[in-house]
Structure 1
Amino acid sequence: MSVNLIFKIAAVGILVTVLSQVLKHSGRDEHAFLTSLAGLIIVLFWIVPYIYDLFETMQKLFAL
């Protein structure tokens, strides 16, 4: 895992937090929720390959 990925996740977190707060204060709670959900999905798409590699490595390590 590279440091670049951590910075991208942090940037998405900051951006989603700011957008969510702006939308909540303007009375658009549904849009704020969808923005948070979209940020979560983006980060999960970035993380899933690393989790898959982790499970493959564990499977090879224990020879299951």
Structure 2
Amino acid sequence: APEDRRAYIVRLTDRGGKLFGDIFVRHAKYVTDLLDSALSDEEIVQLSALLRKLGLSLKEKL
């Protein structure tokens, strides 16, 4: 609610949105490269399943 001062709604400008998108793409590539160099294909599959399970559990609690 607008009168609830515990949170703020912010919006990015068009330029900020583009910058965020560019940074996100680079960050995603960095994380992918890091995982590919540190984990086997099987470990990546296991990690994905565990993160999915964790995400679903958190979603239920929120």
- Report the TM-score when normalising by structure 1: 0.40
Larger C-alpha radius of gyration, 1 or 2?
Answer: 2
More helix by share: 1
Larger RCO: Structure 1 or Structure 2 (Cα < 8 Å, ≥ 6 residues apart)? 1
